A and B are shown apart, each in its own frame.
Chain A
Amino acid sequence: MTTTAVTKTESSAVTKNLKTLLADSYSLMGQTHLAHWNVEGPSFFQLHVAFQSQYEELFTAVDDVAERLRALDVFSPGGLAALAKLSSISEMESGPAPAKDFVAHLIDSHEILVANALSLREAAGASNDLETQDLAIGRIRVHQKTLWMLRSFLKNL
């Protein structure tokens, strides 16, 4: 008899990497929301709109990552305090800042997410969990594309 059920233990590398990816994605969503609210200056309209599309994408992504954990029969962490403990994304102060600071801060955060997703891709590959690996590859693609856009904004041409 074949079974389609897949399970992972709480301590498996795939589970740990999924939880880190979830926490950092959630944290980045919050930081992007903060940037959406507080950005000021001549680039306000374009950045306000760009940040909105980014945090909306992240909202869908955290759901996908959390539900992948559940598909592996592992409970997902949740709640601001629990996720903050797991996250390594630093927080910007709420106050006036040059628009470029918001962009630079988000670049640093997206780079952390790429590193997380790369670790998840490796761990999933090593345990032949191709579905989780597919999720990781998708996240890498999104964060790399966002990094290209954010870095392009900082260019002084």
Chain B
Amino acid sequence: MHTIKTGDWRRDAARIVEELFHATPSSSWDSLLELRQLLLSGSDWARALDVFLSCREHLEADHYLPFYRLRRLLAASLRLEAGLSGLDTGSMENLLKGRHKSLSDLKRRVRREWFEHSTEVCGKIALHVVEQTRV
């Protein structure tokens, strides 16, 4: 399986998801369909990341390579923002290397790391998933 890169990361990622349909049980297709749609529309990155983490949790053991490729594309293209607080959320690459099962898990890790550095940090700071601006 070789994914041809088009230069459009969303299309490349959607194509990797499409390839998974041929190799995964039909019980996973609804989630994969949703992930593909979210990647192509680009309208809800929080949901896209959440569905990706859920699909990875269930399918990665048998399909490591496509999930590695998806992870790399998402890590290079999305970032977590802490609103106006200016707090560092760490690199998406490192966050996605962790075994988080959902976006809530991932956000909990970021907040825990903030708390480890300073107990002054408010745990209610909102975290948003946004697409990186390409230069």
Chain B residues within 8 Å of A156, by CB: 61-62, 64
Taking A93-B93, A111-B2 as contacts, is the C-beta distance between A100 and B64 under 8 angstroms? yes
- Decide if A98 touches B2 in the complex (CB within 8 Å): no
Cα of A111 to Cα of B62 in the assembled complex, Å: 20
User: How many B residues touch the partner, as a band?
Assistant: under 10
A31-57 interface with B by 8 A CB criterion: none
- Decide if B62 touches A107 in the complex (CB within 8 Å): no
Residue in B closest to A151 when the chains form the complex, CB atoms:
B65
- Decide if A104 touches B97 in the complex (CB within 8 Å): no
Number of A-B contacts (CB under 8 A): 21
A91-128 interface with B by 8 A CB criterion: 93, 97-98, 100-101, 104-105, 107-108, 111
Cα of A111 to Cα of B69 in the assembled complex, Å: 13
Q: Which of B65, B93, B97 contacts A98 (CB 8 A)?
A: B97
Cα of A29 to Cα of B129 in the assembled complex, Å: 36
The answer, yes or no, to whether A154 is at the interface (CB within 8 Å) is yes
Taking A100-B64, A156-B61 as contacts, is the C-beta distance between A108 and B69 under 8 angstroms? yes
Taking A93-B93, A111-B2 as contacts, is the C-beta distance between A101 and B61 under 8 angstroms? no
Residue in A closest to B1 when the chains form the complex, CB atoms:
A151
Cα of A156 to Cα of B64 in the assembled complex, Å: 9
Q: How far is the CB of A31 from chain B (nearest CB, A)?
A: 14
- Decide if A104 touches B68 in the complex (CB within 8 Å): yes
Cα of A105 to Cα of B68 in the assembled complex, Å: 8
> Residues on B close to A: CB < 8 A?
2, 61-62, 64-65, 68-69, 93, 97
Which 4 A-B residue pairs are closest in the complex by CB-CB distance?
A104-B68, A154-B64, A156-B61, A156-B62
